[in-house]
Amino acid sequence: MGNDLPTRKSVHYLAVAPGRVNLLGEHVDYNQGIVLPAAIDHKIRVEAVPQGDRMVSLQALDLRESTTFHFDHLAEKKDLGGNPLPQWALYPAGVAQVLLSHGYRPEGIDATITSNVPIGSGLGSSAALEVAFATLWQGIGGWDMHPLERAQLCQQAENQYVGVNCGLMDQFACSCGVEGHALYFDVRSLEYHSIPLPANSVIIIADSRMGRSLARSAYNDRRVECEEAVKMLKTRMPHIQSLRDVTSAELHRHSNLLPELVFRRARHVLEEIERVLQALEYLNNEDAEGFGRLMLECHVSLRDLYDVSCPELDILVDIARKLPGCWGARLTGAGFGGCTVNLVAENKAEEFINHLKSGYHAATGRQAEVYLCRASQGAEVSIINL
């Protein structure tokens, strides 16, 4: 981020941060594994004017809500009138608090927020909101901050201020995305690099419109089950710290140590990490069909070993995999509703969307929301010339 961005009350800044989708590597981030997300071209936009004080005034135009808070009272999580901050405002407030705690000096702003990232569909809307504000304040302040550090600060905001125990993947993808590329991200070492997606492909996301009411409790259950697997395997493999340290061969060798349910959870995690590694080879060889097969294998594993699918997601995947131009399909995110992600040939995208929507409605009576996306650049800030 350059220091050439002037700080004047009359200057308008625009920060844009993308949503994200995880293409492969599901439920492995909390096992210190590797993931393969991509930023998408559905974005949150924050337009702001610096105010030279410690006051933040926000208008969420899509929600038709507004609020104002002061940096000196962030810990109270209340607006100037003493009312609790609305849920959406906790994200920028949390970012401000974390920035201040790390020695940065964010400036007061008057800002408006607009978004076409669907809320509550597992496409990283909260991470995009956090990253947009961190990028905005970075641009106003002219701070030299690496995109990965920015993502880590936003994760701290969500963990410590909002109170959601998320991993780093969402904020990382929103901050570090590369146009036309997926992102290989090692959650343990924080090593990452971009890798091109197949030429002439698009990402199509289908929202089942099934609420994810069980997702959070199931997510917590799966974390506990994975921790149980590590604890049991440690009796024979004392050096391991997480399932990342175990191979599939070792898991099968010591399967007698684990209850059948715990074994299935661990098996998904280990095989999913192996799928991500295999996916790198397919992408490097521009093998869209091979990559798509891994997506389908991932869905079967999430359905049969990890038990986080539901009939509606299975129907979306089953319809998609039979359509012309579809290389791969699977549920994405925590599961129990939410979205599927599909890798589709660009010249078949319109036909694919139409058939997926009509087939899903015929099978379930529900209307799926379907989004055509492309892998996008990560968060950016610019000055608007009015």
Residues 162-196: tens digit of each pLDDT: 988 788 999 999 999 999 999 999 999 999 999 99
Distance CA 154, CA 193 (A): 20
Tokens of 15: 């920060």
Assess contact for 49 and 11: CB atoms under 8 A.
Answer: yes
Task: For the chain, give the longest Cα–Cα distance.
Answer: 68
List all residues 6 or more positions away from 322 whose beta carbon is below 8 Å from its beta carbon.
none
Assess contact for 175 and 329: CB atoms under 8 A.
Answer: no
Q: Looking at 79, 170, 207, 221, which residue is catalytic?
A: 170
Distance CA 14, CA 115 (A): 13
Domains of the chain with CATH codes: 12-195+376-384 (3.30.230.10), 202-373 (3.30.70.890)
Assess contact for 347 and 325: CB atoms under 8 A.
Answer: yes
Q: Tokens 């699977």 appear where? A: 330
Query: What's residue 1's pLDDT?
Result: 43
Query: What's residue 9's pLDDT?
Result: 58
DSSP single-letter state for residue 160: I
Distance CA 261, CA 269 (A): 13
* ∠ CA 31-33-38, rounded to 5°: 120
> Which helix H or strand E contains 247, and what residues bound it?
none
Say how many CA atoms lie within 13 Å of 102 toward its Cβ.
19
List all residues 6 or more positions away from 297 whose beta carbon is below 8 Å from its beta carbon.
275
How far, rounded to the nearest angstrom, does the alpha carbon of residue 327 sit from its chain's CA centroid? 22
List all residues 6 or more positions away from 96 whose beta carbon is below 8 Å from its beta carbon.
56, 71, 74, 106, 133, 137
Query: What's residue 8's pLDDT?
Result: 52
Instruction: Compute the Cα dihedral for 322, 309, 34, 259 and give only its sign.
Output: negative
DSSP single-letter state for residue 78: B
Active site residue 79: no
Query: What's residue 3's pLDDT?
Result: 46
Sites in the chain below the pLDDT cut of 70: 1-9, 212-216, 386
How far, rounded to the nearest angstrom, does the alpha carbon of residue 152 sit from its chain's CA centroid? 13
Distance CA 171, CA 318 (A): 31
Query: What's residue 7's pLDDT?
Result: 46
Assess contact for 320 and 48: CB atoms under 8 A.
Answer: no
State the pTM of this model.
Answer: 0.91
Return the number of other C-beta atoms located less than 10 Å from residue 250's C-beta: 15
